[in-house]
Amino acid sequence: MFGIHDLGLFIVSGILFNLAPGPDVLYVVGRSARHGARGGVVAALGIGTGCFVHILAAAVGLSAMLAASATAFTVIKFVGAAYLVYTGLRMCLASGDAGGPAAEAGPARASHRGVFVQGFLTNALNPKVALFFLAFLPQFIDVHSPDKAWAFATLGLILDGTGTACNVLLALVTARLAAGFDRGGRARRFFSRGAGALFVLLGVRLALADRA
């Protein structure tokens, strides 16, 4: 279909990629620990929605432009890095118990909207994800296919679907572990601030990275 080949290998490779530690995984872990399972799932859905930006970009060729233009890549890279650092600092400096039953009531709705938007931006503003799509997806598309845009879109949706499923499962497991070890909210704060610190490091690393 659309010149796609080795679909099984693509799915397995995509799952392994989605399980690798990175900004998305750390964000889900941090939000699951702090906001519980619901907050983690919302974070996963935000990340999955952000991935649609890269799917569309890959399908219409914007990722190729990003790869070819050093200026465009640098601008997006620093915007994404700054946002990772900002999000990480907010996670590190957050205080209080946001994971208990009361936190899942009315005020949590606004909080969950913020978690969703942050998840969206964490993925959408990461140029490394765009370049991964550009480097990874063509390996499973016939070079002579007349439907390359549709092939990119199809593979991107599959990758996004498996990634979202992995992140939802990660959110549920993390929330359960955090709740099991929680004593007065300390475990939740530890998970959240630890993930926030790693977010800051990833932002710095992204800012210093080249396009390789």
Determine, yes or no, domain membership for 131.
yes
CA nearest neighbour of 63 among 161, 147, 165, 156: 156
Query: In a 10 Å sphere around its CB, with 0-12 CB exposed, 13-18 middle and 19+ buried, how is residue 39 labelled?
Result: buried
Structural domain includes residue 11 = no
On whether residue 1 sits in a domain, the answer given is no
Residue 158 Cα distances to 5, 76, 95, 192, angstroms: 14, 25, 37, 29
Q: Is 28 among the domain residues?
A: yes
Dihedral angle at the C-alpha atoms of 97, 99, 102, 107, nearest 10 degrees? Answer: 90
User: 135 pLDDT band (50/70/90 cuts)?
Assistant: confident
pLDDT above 90 (res 103): no
Is 199 within a domain? yes
Model confidence pLDDT, tens digit, residues 63-88: 666 566 677 667 766 776 777 687 77
**Region 25-31: what's the mean pLDDT?**
86
pLDDT at site 40: 92
9 domain-assigned: no
Residue 42 lies in a domain: yes
pLDDT score recorded for residue 159: 92
Are 108 and 35 spatial neighbours (Cβ–Cβ below 8 Å)? yes
For residues 131 and 66, is the Cβ–Cβ distance under 8 A?
A: yes
Residue 211: band (very low, low, confident or very high) from pLDDT cuts 50, 70, 90: low
pLDDT above 90 as % of the chain: 17
Domain count, the chain: 1
Q: What is the pLDDT of residue 89?
A: 80
156 occurs within a structural domain: yes
Could you list the residue range(s) of the whole structural domain that residue 165 is in? 23-208
3-state secondary structure the chain: CCCECCHHHHHHHHHHHHHCCCHHHHHHHHHHHHHHHHHHHHHHHHHHHHHHHHHHHHHHCHHHHHHHCHHHHHHHHHHHHHHHHHHHHHHHHCCCCCCCHHHHCHHHHHHHHHHHHHHHHHHHCCHHHHHHHHHHHHHHECCCCCCHHHHHHHHHHHHHHHHHHHHHHHHHHHHHHHHHHCCCCHHHHHHHHHHHHHHHHHHHHHHHCCCC
The torsion defined by the Cα of 197, 199, 204 and 208, in degrees rounded to 10, comes to 140
Q: Could you report the per-residue pLDDT of 118-130, keeping only the tens digit for each?
A: 899 988 888 778 7
Average pLDDT for 184-195: 62
